[in-house]
Amino acid sequence: MKYSARTKRVTGRAAGAWGVHSEAVRLREAGHDIIMLTVGDPDQAPPEKLIEATVAALWAHQTGYAQIIGTQQLRELIAARYQRRTGQPCIADNVTVVPRAQGGLYCALQCLAGPGDEVIVPEPIYATYEAVIGASGAEMVIVPLVSERGFHPDLDALGAAITPRTRLIWINSPHNPTGAVFTAEEIAAIAALCRDHDLWLLSDEVYEDLAFARPHVSAWSLPDMADRTVVVSSLSKSHAVPGFRFGWIIGPPALQGHLFNLLLCMIY
């Protein structure tokens, strides 16, 4: 039987890394003393209030279908959090709740890029990025993050990588796997490139609450960028619940309609 070429296209160069993870899990389940350095699975307990609220929701039989983009109340709470943290306006229409941050990144690329487009990404990258870009049909263009710069972005190199086919610049800060936290000046300069070349700025901020050497700066905090900025995050790292698969996308209200159409066929 024949299969679609799509699932071959989305494997990415890092697909083999999951084999290492699977072997580590197998050895641990077999009783070996294994230190897991493969996936970002927090080893601390979730907040007690989160556990209590989850149990209460289950006892209240809140187990039915959720609204496709999340309830109004939940989206308002997430929006208020971003407005409080960034100082920039954020309302429920800017927020779409998605099944995990990884799902948010996938949905964002499906909505923002397609065949023939280019996506600029500073490398090293999280293992799934190449596959997510491949699934959209776009081409990944890498710009190295080098140790001599502390793995901070080379703004000249980013600018030089832009072509007429470029659709967006995808950043990740705090950065996985290097741990670099991009400065406010660096993020503002990347935003300026996006404005000058009419590009989207996609920011993966799932590690936003794990910045210690310097404060995390959200791309949503930049003025005059709300119409071209998309932020993806989740509770996985901040609340130690990666198994909840709970994430969200912050973006312009017009994006929400495109996400609704995509999520309708993904989760219902």
What pLDDT digit, counting tens, does each position of 64-106 carry? 998 999 999 999 999 999 999 999 999 999 999 999 999 999 9
CATH number at residue 226: 3.40.640.10
* For range 127-140, the mean pLDDT: 94
Two structure tokens written together for 42: 């927090």
Q: What is the pLDDT of residue 19?
A: 82
In this structure, is residue 5 part of a structural domain?
no
In this structure, is residue 241 part of a structural domain?
yes
Q: What is the pLDDT of residue 56?
A: 98
> Chain centroid to CA 141: how far?
18
User: Are 260 and 65 spatial neighbours (Cβ–Cβ below 8 Å)?
Assistant: no
Share of the chain above pLDDT 70, in %: 98
In this structure, is residue 33 part of a structural domain?
no
In this structure, is residue 21 part of a structural domain?
no
In this structure, is residue 7 part of a structural domain?
no
Give me the domain span that covers residue 232: 40-267
Q: Which residues are within 8 A (CB) of 252 and not within 5 positions of it... i.e. 6 or more apart?
A: 94, 226, 227, 228, 229
Q: What is the pLDDT of residue 15?
A: 66
In this structure, is residue 212 part of a structural domain?
yes
| Count of structural domains within the chain | 1
In this structure, is residue 88 part of a structural domain?
yes
Share of the chain above pLDDT 90, in %: 84
Per-residue exposure over 65-93, b if at least 16 CB sit within 10 Å of its own CB, e if not? eeebbbeeebbbebbeebeeebebebebb
In this structure, is residue 12 part of a structural domain?
no
User: Are 225 and 201 spatial neighbours (Cβ–Cβ below 8 Å)?
Assistant: yes
Q: What is the pLDDT of residue 14?
A: 65
Instruction: Find the range with the poorest average confidence among 1-15, 93-107, 108-122, 222-236.
Output: 1-15
Q: What is the pLDDT of residue 94?
A: 98
Per-residue pLDDT tens for 29-56?
999 999 888 887 888 899 999 999 999 9
Per-residue pLDDT tens for 181-214?
999 999 999 999 999 999 999 999 999 999 998 8
Query: Is residue 118 classed as helix, strand or coil in its secondary structure?
Result: strand
Per-residue pLDDT tens for 8-22?
777 666 667 778 888
